Amino acid sequence: MKYNPNEIEAKWQKYWAENKTFAAQNNSDKPKHYVLDMFPYPSGAGLHVGHPLGYIASDVYSRFKRHQGFNVLHPMGYDSFGLPAEQYAIQTGQRPEDTTRVNIDGGVDKEGNQIAGYRKQLDKIGFSFDWSREVRTSNPDYYKHTQWIFIQLFNSWYCKKQNKAFDVTELVKVFAEEGNVLVEAVCDDQVAIFTAEDWNTYSEEEQEKILLKYRLTYLAETEVNWCPGLGTVLANDEIVNGVSERGGYPVIRKKMTQWSMRISAYAERLLQGLNDIDWSESIKESQRNWIGKSVGASVDFSLQNLDGTISVFTTRPDTIFGVTFMTLAPEHELVSQITTAEQIAAVDAYIEKTAKRSERERMADVKTISGVFTGGYAEHPFTKEPIPVWIGDYVLAGYGTGAVMAVPCGDERDYAFANFFKGQKGMPAIKNIFDQDISESAFGSKDGFKLVESDFLDGLGYKEATQKAIAELEAIEQGTGKTNYRLRDAVFSRQRYWGEPFPVYYVNGLPKMIDAQHLPIILPEVANYLPTEEGLPPLGNAIVWAWDTVNNKVVATDLVDNKSIFPLELNTMPGWAGSSWYWMRYMDANNETEFASAEALKYWESVDLYIGGNEHATGHLLYARFWNKFLKDKGFAPTEEPFKKLINQGMILGTSAFVYRLEGTNSFISKNKIEGQNVQPIHADVSMVNASDELDVERFRNWREEYKNAEFILDENGKYIVGREVEKMSKSKYNVVTPDDICAEYGADTLRLYEMFLGPLEQAKPWNTAGISGVFGFLKKLCRLYFDEHNLIITDEEPNKENLKSLHKTIKKVVDDIENFSFNTSVSQFMICVNELSAQNCHSRAILEPLAIVISPYAPHIAEELWSLLGYEGSIATVPFPVFEAKYLVESEKEYPVSFNGKMRFTLKLPLDLTKDQIEQIVMKDERTLKQLDGKTPNKVIIVPGKIINLVG
């Protein structure tokens, strides 16, 4: 019999599908275990060998837990809404719905490209996914629940006193009975105080405007990252070096009316919840920094010669007398008010320049110093001295209040700013309030100083001065103690087509929610995916996009009369909407009436193991925790945290190939000859290069028209040698290796084992196809333990001690490794075990049956085939995992090194239960000892049982 992976794997993949082998039950006597992967965005490029790394790890773990008797939920779906599909639609004229479906299911797109399809690619690798629970976020039967969650957020507010979200109807009741004086809510900063009498006299429209300031999702004018090239708002993590990650288009800061999510309400719970989950410290620290809790004071600086104040948050109220100037974010609403006529031209120019830089770029750039004096002044709350007001792009409008009180003597950035503009109008000399030297740098420590030149704070240190400064600010009603968070509310609108429609229509400009019973509001057909000529989002092109409040359905846009038919929201939800709750849908994916039943939610509770990339640390993972906590508040989610344990897989890197073009020519010179030449490295497709780094020159010439007549300067042996470099695996670098090719040549089991063998799961590691053959050879060697060229060679003979030792050593190692996610060392142990059993000529059923089970999480297809050949019906998938028995690893003998005056001369194998005297008697009678002693008597015989024997003198 011959190991034929293609035949074996197709057979068992068909068996699993037909028998629903991996379907989880929502009620089972078995203990539950929920293993989840971050689901993919289905691009037309499909999977490369880097993508399945985390999926293989989670699959190994899922299969192992089934062997341990768990009811395992291991689902898969697609995060199928998103900007890439829309951009592709704009470029090619295809519907995003069509391209997304082809990318998932496979087929030929409108351009004639053959698309493998994610589903087929995943199936070929042999994953134990419960496909009966598949979700696609772009399907109406999924996103109707996303719309429903949005409505719940709109109808909720956050009570600070109880630290929990409640229904807005309860807030309305309080307003009607007491007004808002005693309400402790997370809400907009500018909320006027009103009495119950006031509330009850307000019109319905006035009441709705007030409620918008309290709702957990709300409309507000917000500073956003606007990308004209893409026609949409981008999140910070969608921008790289000031341009859009998708397409590389410029991004500017712009004020727009947007839907926002009040994630800031959950800042403290998001922070404290990190203490209760098993995540890496690096991810937790990323979230802590993003949430950015700081304790200090809010201080109000009155404007000189103008009405109004500049509010700042500072963690160092003790330095209040060191304020030398103030800096506002260029976007701050007071800039236009305080800028003088003399400074307006410079200020406007600076604001225009700053608008082209993203917030992330501004935060990261700590070297560039820039700013402009507004000409305006604020007033010190205690001394009443004038304080010049500047603008600078290191201050961000969305962080804190968008203003800072600059204390150059105690802050390095303020110190650098003050010195950079030293001597210019509006930049006074630095005030030093510390009994320390600041001639070379700021004094930033909170210890080891006494305050000077600080009025009532003179002689105090940090702690005492902070308390006293806050007390005095509160006494003069110009400040208060405060805890602040860097975390800002999340913009929830996108000016694009391919996203979840909002279940919102507008009456007199105010948003109204469509009743949940009429969901989903399905994305309409449009002829053009670009914004309208008037600059409206793409849904402005829809001809059927209005809400009929009488018949409760979507009708033609031209029927809008603002009496019974009203305009629908033109924005769509962002990419993170559908991914912020998808793990709950998997719990009850086919439920047509609710996102998941209470019974299913109670049974599965939360994800036990989540595997995905660390690039989602402050995006998806933060939003998912926020939505989960909200749904817990509303009685839907059963737990506070969605993901108990999180593991971030590392990246598999590609090994790129480079050819070298002589500058200004169409000649390419071999790597070995480039010394002293001016060359331009150009990526070549790795499929054109063999294992010896030799380029197929003719294939390269035919690759592109521009290379058709290229000349090649070869080595003396007539070969063109390419350069190699390890970098990110990417289609643009032509270093992609597809799993389909590996599976076709070597089989999925080889791919699975090799990816796990490459190195620790969390680390980045380079792909080297040359190493695949070694793993393939191992699987063939494994098969030879079970069958020869013609027949099964399993015997019923009793295993010997060495057989049992090899097996149980492997069982112990694999169990420990899987529980600790050290998959690479398990594969090494498989190789050791098979080599040992081969050397022992072991074909014992008592050894090889459990070995098939032990290897099955890693190489499930060959394990199934061996299990079948061993005479068993049904799948190996739920057969109990072999139990490690320590007795088989207990050594009964020891091979002692026998030394003479510390030099080892020979070894002697002896039973471990011998006493010192018995060991000495045996050693002294050994012929080799007598020969070494040559008639002499040793002065001393040192024996440590189980370790050493040493004869001295």
Whether the predicted pLDDT of 146 surpasses 90: yes
By C-alpha distance, which of 367, 369, 398, 372 is closest to 253? 398
Strands 553-555 and 546-548, sheet pairing = antiparallel
Q: What is the pLDDT of residues 303-351, one digit of tens each?
A: 998 999 999 999 999 999 999 999 999 999 999 999 999 999 999 999 9
Which amino acid, 711? E
User: DSSP secondary-structure letter at 26?
Assistant: S
How far apart are alpha carbons 933 and 947 in whole angstroms?
22
Whether the predicted pLDDT of 635 surpasses 80: yes
The predicted model gives 758-783 an average pLDDT of 94
User: DSSP secondary-structure letter at 771?
Assistant: G
Whether the predicted pLDDT of 398 surpasses 80: no
Weakest mean pLDDT among 225-239, 487-501, 784-798: 225-239
- pTM for the model stands at 0.87
Q: Can you give the pLDDT at residue 622?
A: 97
The proportion of the chain whose per-residue pLDDT surpasses 90, expressed as a percent, equals 85
Q: What is the pLDDT of residues 64-76, one digit of tens each?
A: 999 999 999 999 9
Q: Can you give the pLDDT at residue 139?
A: 97
Whether the predicted pLDDT of 237 surpasses 70: no
Could you give the C-alpha distances from 760 to 54, 725, 828, 854, in angstroms and in order? 11, 21, 12, 20
Helix axis angle for 823-839 and 801-819, nearest 10°, is 170
How high does pLDDT run on average in the chain?
94
CA dihedral 384, 406, 299, 305 (to 10 degrees): 40
The predicted model gives 532-546 an average pLDDT of 91
Q: Can you give the pLDDT at residue 108?
A: 87
Whether the predicted pLDDT of 731 surpasses 90: no
Token pair recorded at residue 255: 């004020």
Q: What are the phi and psi torsion angles at 477 (to 5°)?
A: 55, 40
Cα of 814 vs its chain's centroid, Å: 28
For 247: left if phi > 0, alpha if psi spans -120 to 50, otherwise beta; the answer is: left
CB 297 within 8 A of CB 390: no
Taking residue 253's Cβ as centre, other Cβ atoms within 10 Å add up to 23
For residue 811, give every residue at least 6 positions away whose Cβ sits within 8 Å of its Cβ, in sequence order, or none: 850, 854, 882, 883, 884
Q: Can you give the pLDDT at residue 158?
A: 98
Bond before 945 cis per omega within 30 degrees: no
The helix (H) or strand (E) run that includes residue 723 is strand 723-728
How far apart are alpha carbons 791 and 565 in whole angstroms?
77
CB 309 within 8 A of CB 376: no
219: three-class secondary structure by DSSP: strand
How far apart are alpha carbons 667 and 882 in whole angstroms?
62
By C-alpha distance, which of 448, 447, 417 is closest to 430? 417
How far apart are alpha carbons 316 and 295 in whole angstroms?
9
Q: What is the pLDDT of residues 471-506, one digit of tens each?
A: 999 999 999 999 999 899 999 999 899 999 999 999
Q: What is the pLDDT of residues 259-277, one digit of tens each?
A: 999 999 999 999 999 999 9
For residue 729, give every residue at least 6 positions away whose Cβ sits within 8 Å of its Cβ, in sequence order, or none: 48, 49, 50, 651, 652, 653, 654, 735, 736, 737, 767
Weakest mean pLDDT among 397-406, 482-491, 609-618, 697-706: 397-406
How far apart are alpha carbons 705 and 467 in whole angstroms?
74
Weakest mean pLDDT among 576-585, 626-635, 730-739: 730-739
For residue 850, give every residue at least 6 positions away whose Cβ sits within 8 Å of its Cβ, in sequence order, or none: 807, 811, 882
The predicted model gives 178-188 an average pLDDT of 96
Token pair recorded at residue 801: 């001690």
The predicted model gives 13-30 an average pLDDT of 96
Q: What is the pLDDT of residues 339-397, one digit of tens each?
A: 999 999 999 999 988 887 877 778 777 788 999 999 999 999 999 999 999 999 999 88
Weakest mean pLDDT among 19-23, 168-172, 396-400, 830-834: 396-400
CB 698 within 8 A of CB 666: no
How far apart are alpha carbons 31 and 28 in whole angstroms?
7
Token pair recorded at residue 318: 């003790």
For residue 184, what pLDDT band results from cuts at 50, 70 and 90? very high
In sequence order, the β-bridge partners of residue 506 are 511
Q: What is the pLDDT of residues 801-832, one digit of tens each?
A: 999 999 999 999 999 999 999 999 999 999 99
By C-alpha distance, which of 499, 541, 491 is closest to 522? 499
418-440 residues labelled b (16+ CB within 10 A) or e (exposed): beebeeeebbeebbbbbeeebee
For residue 892, what pLDDT band results from cuts at 50, 70 and 90? confident
For residue 90, what pLDDT band results from cuts at 50, 70 and 90? confident
Q: What is the pLDDT of residues 46-67, one digit of tens each?
A: 899 999 999 999 999 999 999 9
Q: What is the 3-state secondary structure (H, E, C) of 914-936?
A: CCHHHHHHHHHHCHHHHHHHCCC
877, with CB counted inside 10 A (0-12, 13-18, 19+), is: buried
567-591 residues labelled b (16+ CB within 10 A) or e (exposed): bbbbbbbbbbbbbbbbbbbbbbbee
CA dihedral 104, 108, 111, 113 (to 10 degrees): 90
Whether the predicted pLDDT of 255 surpasses 90: no
Which amino acid, 880? P
Whether the predicted pLDDT of 418 surpasses 80: yes
How far apart are alpha carbons 901 and 953 in whole angstroms?
7
